[in-house]
Structure 1
Amino acid sequence: MARRISTEEGRAALAGVSAAENPSRTDLATAVRYLLQLLVEKAPGHTVEVRVPPFGAVQVIEGPRHTRGTPPNVVETDARTWIAVATGAEQWADAASAGRIVASGTRADISDLLPLRP
């Protein structure tokens, strides 16, 4: 992640996303990146890659570092689903069973780290 998103900027983006049926791309991107930033702060490491295309991807959870090719532990979801599970508006298990979260690898279930508290 390039620059640090302030708490105020992150909360404003989350408010913008929750208040609008079709939030601006800027609010959506900032909210996703802010929540990914909080996840990295909560569980630093390089074992699981969390992807929220096209807005961001981070590596989290202590353990073996991945350096080449497709990581063995990957979580991928869309922006709205990421925001919902990261804020507690939706449960990980519900989103995963609906196919909106794809988690592969033995350590890819990060539900115990959610929700994040912005």
Structure 2
Amino acid sequence: MPARLRPADPADVADALTRVAAGTADRVDLRLLTKHYLAVLELRAPGRSVEVRVPPYAAVQCVEGVRHTRGTPPAVIETDAETWIALATGRLTWPDAVAEHRVTASGERTDLAPYLPIEPD
């Protein structure tokens, strides 16, 4: 089983968010924020019934329910880093992201609306 992600240092998160807002964020910023917000999601929604993937940066399993042990989990959410960061910070709502096809979600328990935003922008 992969090691759990850890939330990033708050100062590093704030710096990266400043660059995102200014439109000057790079891959390092996107990776830091993606992993940070996925780590916080893991802590707030413990479990292993849903896999949230943000390629190429990270994936976590979260949300209580039936645990899978091998292969593709029965519930998968996938999105890009920019969308994940917008969801996590409240700049984008879950229903809007789904309606705009900015996330793909299949299986039970894939509505992350109760867990978002992770941190208001």
Shorter-chain TM-score above 0.5: yes
Deviations 1:3-41 (A, max 9, x none): 552222222222222222x42110111011111111111
Cα distance, 1:66 vs. partner?
1.4
Specify the alignment match of 2:83 in structure 1: 81
Secondary structure, aligned partner of 2:47: strand
Find the partner of 1:11 among 2, 10, 14. 14
- Runs of at least 5 residues in structure 2 that lack an aligned partner in the other structure: none
Secondary structure, aligned partner of 1:57: strand
Aligned pairs, number: 117
| Distance change (3 Å), C-alpha of 1:23 and 1:56 | same
Q: Once superposed, what is the RMSD of the aligned Cα atoms? A: 1.6
- Runs of at least 5 residues in structure 1 that lack an aligned partner in the other structure: none
Secondary structure, aligned partner of 2:109: coil
Secondary structure, aligned partner of 1:46: coil
For 2:100, the aligned partner's letter is A
Give the alignment's TM-score, normalised by structure 1. Answer: 0.90
Identity of aligned residues (%): 49
Correspondences of 1:1-118 after superposition (within 5 Å)? 1=4, 4-20=7-23, 22-117=24-119
Secondary structure, aligned partner of 2:71: coil
For 2:38, the aligned partner's letter is L
Moved over 3 A (4+): 1-4
